[in-house]
Structure 1
Amino acid sequence: MSPEEKPGGPPPPPPQAGRCRGARPQQQQQQPRRGGLLSEIRTAIRSEPFHLRYRLSPGRELGRGKFAVVKKCIQKDTEKEFAAKFMRKRRKGQDCRMEIIHEIAVLELAQCNPWVINLHEVYETATEMILVLEYAAGGEIFDQCVAEREEAFKEKDVKRLMKQILEGVSFLHRNNVVHLDLKPQNILLTSKSPLGDIKIVDFGLSRIMKSSEELREIMGTPEYVAPEILSYDPISTATDMWSIGVLAYVMLTGISPFLGDDKQETFLNISQMNVSYSGEDFDLISESAVDFIKTLLVKKPEDRATAEECLQHPWLEQSDEPISRAWNESAGGESSDVTQQDADSASEKSVDAEKTEEDESIVTEELIVVASYTLGQCRQSEKEKATEQKAISKRFKFEEPLLQEIPGEFIY
């Protein structure tokens, strides 16, 4: 933890917060613009062609949004891997260059924090700006949130990654930055196997909070927005903490807690606090983990735990427990594949009637979902397989962020 990240001391001013030892001094002081945007950066914006120093890697894109696309690239002279985020400057007929400048400024502010993606260089053409960013080879944590059961996060994994997320968000909050779009697609991993560390990305919706003014905006991704967003009440650092509560729920269970059949039902679930902490998906999740989520999914922002308070929660302070998902427990919670194999073996030795009954009890369903332009399979518990289709749809069905003037990019 860097000196800037140590709790207890007064928060440093934003212009100094991201400076590393040996970094060049900032040329101009950053001042928040109207609406919580920063307008000054110290990164040199290169005008020479991007392809002179970088070549794009063949293969699929790392991510795509309405106004941005992220591609893997290689720096020619060093052969080092980076992620290039190509961002259109004009969106829906409006010049959005200053919103991109704000995103660059926030990345500069957090450049010393190990849990925020690092900005390397910036290029500009007549139509777009290109952010050359640290490459996170493990991809989005979303992929493992909706992975097959044996590949999904275990509780001890979630504890470690959640500590990192909270340390990163705590750093941002101490420097008056709210992310406003924390979700599995915006948390990347440095490696997938072995499981690496997290990197927080996509600050396109982020804002600078000023004590002298209130900020009210409709923004975020429907399943992750806090109740105050829907009621158009002031945004605060507590708005991010609600999203972290939803994120923890998703990482532990694979279920999106407030998801409805459409946006209206999702918003109603959020405003009415329709959330469940029971059922098969919580059977072998520790009570301490459930309590952690409950300190965040609180309707009144002032009653939610802060990032610093979350870091002191017993769930995160406890040593790693052997508790994991039910389907990863060898003492009666095997994966569906193991259950299938056991059933097949038993059926060979059983009478025809028993075999028929067992075959009827084993049902395999697969739900393909779209989540911020990412396709993935959703896990489905045996209990839910017997429920109506509406209940099954409570699994992942991520939608685009709520947009006003500024759409949010989906990764990086």
Structure 2
Amino acid sequence: MSLPLITDYDIQEKLGVGSYASVYKARHKKQNTYHAIKYVEMSTLSQSSRDNLITEIRLLRDLKHKYIVTLQDFFWDDKNIYIVLEYCNAGNLSAFIRTKKALPESTCRYFLRQLAAAVQYMRANDVSHFDLKPQNLLLTRSANNVYLKVADFGFAQHLKLGELNQQLKGSPLYMAPEIVRKHQYDAKADLWSVGVILYECLFGKAPYSSRTIEELLLRIRKAEPIVLPPNARISNECHDLLRRLLAHEPAQRISFADFFAHPFLDLKTFPSEQTLKKAIDLVTQAVGHDEKRNYKEAYYLYCSALQYFVPLITEESDASRRQELRNRALTYMKRAEEIKNVIIEDEYKLLAQRQQKAFEKSVAATTAEAANHQTQPSTSRMMEMLEPDARYKQLFALSNSSPSLKTGLEIGRQGELYLYERKLDAALESYTSALGILVPFVNNEPKGERRNLLLQQLEFWIKEAESIKSILSAKHLDDEEQKMSTEHCHTFFRTSSHTFIYSYAL
């Protein structure tokens, strides 16, 4: 097929071919801007394809969102329809996954949050996509970031929650089981597709990847259990979301509300107009408590603020603004660490005082040599003597009849001890493991004293885990920024003069 002739544009390379259209990269001659032009020959369209095209144009005209590809113009002549779209300069998620084989969980979460924000906006407008897949998630690169854009609304339609559809739509590998088995489905079919996308990002291939379409459809109809690869290492939060998205029965699949509220996504801290305001408000409260020496309150508030600052830094494309946010986040991170050290040191002092009093009471009954040996207890001895609080003791005493409860409590307690030793990664891993055991347990626990105590313990450990996660996120972001800065400097060193290098370093 020859390139389409459009007066105002220079048509360049072909970007792809869809179900009823070809897409070309094009440059606007006067504005010197780049666009993607979807070129449709009307003579090739069936009636259903015409309907889909009209729906796509209407939806894209109305949907305006950072993570949805923008419709910039459309026009037609006697034979063709031309849809001018935002040009995404970094390919699509499918190609990105193939290049990397599989993506780190943090990268999967980064893209999934953007996809979830787009889906949340679509649901607010009663729009279902019905063809979500990595090939339809375009990527665009700015100076510092890569952003995801949902594209190809050819199968999309207005559909309220609970309304049913019977028209066969989607791509088999990403199609919800109810579409294949019953040809009847609702908006939750999109959630299955999101689950398949997450699985493919994590492990490099879709859960039902098959040699033939017949094999694929058979596995879907049999509701073959979806298992993780043997070497899979993902967090409990990620695994929980993946499992709930990939529930074969729509009634058992996670709801949209629970999906948007899931802790793996943490959309409440996702950058928006209100995010910076919330972060500053939390910092203001933290500083107030800090000045009054209410250190525990200040620590948790600084950590909560970091939950909002880190995503803001990640999403910021302006370099100077990004650096300003980074500097602020590092200041709050360091202060949170200083405060936590003060809290731990204060608890050590209290422990030492208790030990000293116990020692003074027993000194008359011991030899001078034994007394001399015990005068200066070591840090490890302090750790052995550091007792859990009364709530934990009471709860642990009630756990004898429930081995899983006891195991979860012991793991969580180990997390507390790791935190006292400033081993943040180990502490977070222990807390996460403990919560993975105890949260399902408490959901089945009957009302009573033990359940109330466990809920209080979980609330405390979740707060501690979130605070550690905030500090680690800020640390990891700083490490990545420094690494990028070093690599950038090395690039300049290879390509620029020493004078320029010196000014850049300053």
Q: Compute the TM-score of the two structures, normalised by the length of structure 1.
A: 0.60
Partner residue, 1:327: none
**2:128–2:159: 8 Å Cα contact kept in structure 1?**
yes
Distance in 2, matches of 1:250 and 1:148, equals 12
Q: Alignment partner of 1:52: what SS? A: coil
Query: 1:240 pairs with 166, 185, 190, which one?
Result: 190
Give the whole-Å Cα distance in 2 for the aligned partners of 1:272 and 1:192: 44
Relative to 1, partners in 2 of residues 1:127 and 1:97: Cα closer, same or farther, differing over 3 Å? farther
Paired residue secondary structure (1:258): coil
**Structure 2 residue corresponding to 1:79, chosen from 13, 24, 32:** 32
TM alignment of 1:95-114, pairs within 5 A? 96-111=49-64, 113-114=65-66
Instruction: Please state how far the C-alpha of 1:159 moved relative to its aligned partner.
Output: 0.5
Q: Would you say how many aligned residue pairs link Structure 1 and Structure 2?
A: 267
User: Partner amino acid for 1:78?
Assistant: Q
Matched, 1:291 2:243: no
Match in the other structure for 1:125: 77
CA contact (8 A) 1:142 1:184 kept: yes
Residues 216 and 124 from structure 1, CA distance in 2 versus in 1: closer, same or farther, beyond 3 angstroms?
same
Which position in structure 2 is the counterpart of 1:387? none
Deviations 1:143-168 (A, max 9, x none): 1212244xx52211110110110111
| 1:175 counterpart letter in structure 2 | N
Q: Deviations over 1:173-205 (max 9, x none)?
A: 221211110000000111288551110000001
The one-character-per-residue Cα deviations of 1:20-62 (angstroms, maximum 9, x if unpaired) are xxxxxxxxxxxxxxxxxxxxxxxxxxxxx962211112x4x11
Judged with a 3 Å threshold, the aligned counterparts in structure 2 of structure 1 residues 281 and 75 are, in CA distance, closer, same or farther, namely: farther
Q: 1:10-409 maps to which residues of 2 (within 5 A)?
A: 51-57=6-12, 59=13, 61-91=14-44, 94=47, 96-111=49-64, 113-149=65-101, 152-191=102-141, 195-209=145-159, 214-282=164-232, 284-317=233-266
Secondary structure of the structure 2 residue equivalent to 1:143: helix
Query: 2-side partners of 1:95 and 1:125: how far apart?
Result: 21
Quick check: 2:8–2:29 contact (8 Å CA) kept in 1?
yes
Distance 1:56 1:127 in 2: 18
Instruction: Give the structure with the higher percent strand.
Output: 1
- Matched residues in 1 for 2:52 and 2:226: separation? 38
Runs of 5+ consecutive residues of structure 2 not aligned to the other structure: 270-306, 311-506
**Cα–Cα, structure 1 residues 198 and 97, in superposed 2: closer, same or farther, change >3 Å?**
same
Query: What is the deviation of 1:126?
Result: 1.9
- Per-residue CA shift, 1:223-275, capped at 9, x if unaligned? 11111101234321100000000010001110210122222221222233324
User: Paired residue for 1:351?
Assistant: none
Instruction: Say if 2:203 and 2:229, in contact at 8 Å, map to a contact too.
Output: no
Q: CA deviation at 1:302?
A: 2.4
> In structure 1, what is the Cα distance between the partners aligned to 2:30 and 2:7?
10
CA 1:54 to 1:212, structure 2 compared with 1: closer, same or farther past 3 Å? same
Q: Could you list the runs of 4 or more consecutive aligned residues of structure 1 that deviate by over 6 angstroms after TM superposition? A: none
Q: Is the 8 A contact 2:34 2:87 kept in 1?
A: yes
Structure-2 separation of matches of 1:212 and 1:255: 31
Judging by fraction of residues, say which structure has more helix.
Answer: 2
* Contact 2:73/2:85 (<8 A) preserved: yes
Quick one: which amino acid aligns to residue 91 of structure 2?
G
Q: Percent identity?
A: 28
Q: What is the CA deviation profile of residues 42-93 of structure 1, one whole-angstrom value per residue up to 9, with x for unaligned ones?
A: xxxxxxx962211112x4x111134211111111111011100102223366
8 Å CA contact 1:54, 1:75 repeated in 2? yes
CA-CA distance at 1:137 after TM superposition: 0.6
**Rg bigger for which structure?**
2
Amino acid at match of 2:11: L
Between the aligned partners of 1:211 and 1:290, the Cα distance in structure 2 is: 26
Name which structure has the greater RCO, CA cutoff 8 Å, separation 6+: 1
What letter matches 1:268 in structure 2? L
| Structure 1 residue 97, shift from structure 2 partner | 3.4
Q: Which amino acid aligns with 2:66?
A: P
Question: Does the 8 Å CA contact 2:27/2:33 hold for their aligned counterparts?
Answer: yes
| C-alpha separation in 2, matches of 1:184 and 1:136 | 14
CA distance in 2, matches of 1:224, 1:212: 21
Q: Any conservation in 1 of the 2:163–2:186 contact (CA below 8 Å)?
A: no
**Gaps spanning 5+ residues in structure 1: where?**
1-48, 321-412
Is the CA contact (8 Å cut-off) linking 1:90 and 1:97 kept in structure 2? no
What CA distance in whole angstroms lies between the structure 2 residues aligned with 1:144 and 1:92?
31
SS of residue in 1 equivalent to 2:115 = helix
8 Å Cα contact 1:137-1:192 kept in structure 2: no
SS of the equivalent of 1:122 reads strand
Q: CA deviation digits over 1:107-139, x for unaligned, max 9?
A: 02212x111100001011222211100011111
Relative to structure 1, is the Cα distance of residues 281 and 253 closer, same or farther in structure 2, using a 3 angstrom cutoff? farther
Contact 1:70 1:85 in 2 (8 A): yes
Displacement of 1:276 after TM fit? 3.8
Contact kept? 2:130, 2:156, Cα under 8 Å:
yes
Q: Cα distance 1:194–1:153, how it changes in 2: closer, same or farther (>3 A)? A: farther
